[in-house]
Amino acid sequence: MKKIIRVMVIVTLVSLCSGLSSAMGDFFFMDNEIIGKPTPDFTLKTVSGQEINLSQYRDGKKTIIFFWATWCPHCREALRGLAQSQEEFEKKEIKLVLVDVGENLEVVQNYIEKNDITFEIFLDEKNQLAESYGIVGIPTFFFINQEGIVKEMGHSLPENYEEILSKT
């Protein structure tokens, strides 16, 4: 009898845990509300001191927006990959918009100088843009087609990013 009760308790606990795990997964991997819609426009200050508007910067080109921070190891790894492929993106006329989230100018400037990063870096010091884009964690990539529609988002740069950017 004790053995049956133990088995029932274990089965109940396992089913409860798997239900919570599934619910947590749904919470953290929800679809972002802006996918399939026009890219929310913004104007941010850059590390170089300019105020740049996304629409003007994109200039009607396919765009990848990369939300990142200097303290994030996965972001630093993704940034290295983007830097290594920078010429390739330029040849394919894909705009890269790198948005540092939650850090001040001095921190970002020190990082990009130390690591010889040549991208224009947009600063979202107060996380307002990240919030409006529904960012849950970083790194986060948004893939915008030529028409300015957000086609997908993800936490890494997929191999088929060109295919994603070409979706109409």
How confident is the model at residue 100, as a pLDDT?
98
Distance CA 85, CA 96 (A): 11
When the pLDDT of each residue in the chain is averaged and rounded to a whole number, the result is: 87
Q: Region 58-83: what's the mean pLDDT?
A: 97
How confident is the model at residue 31, as a pLDDT?
74
How confident is the model at residue 23, as a pLDDT?
37
CATH number for the region 34-165 comes to 3.40.30.10
Distance CA 135, CA 128 (A): 10
Band (pLDDT 50/70/90 cuts) for residue 3 is low
State the pTM of this model. 0.81
Distance CA 152, CA 62 (A): 12
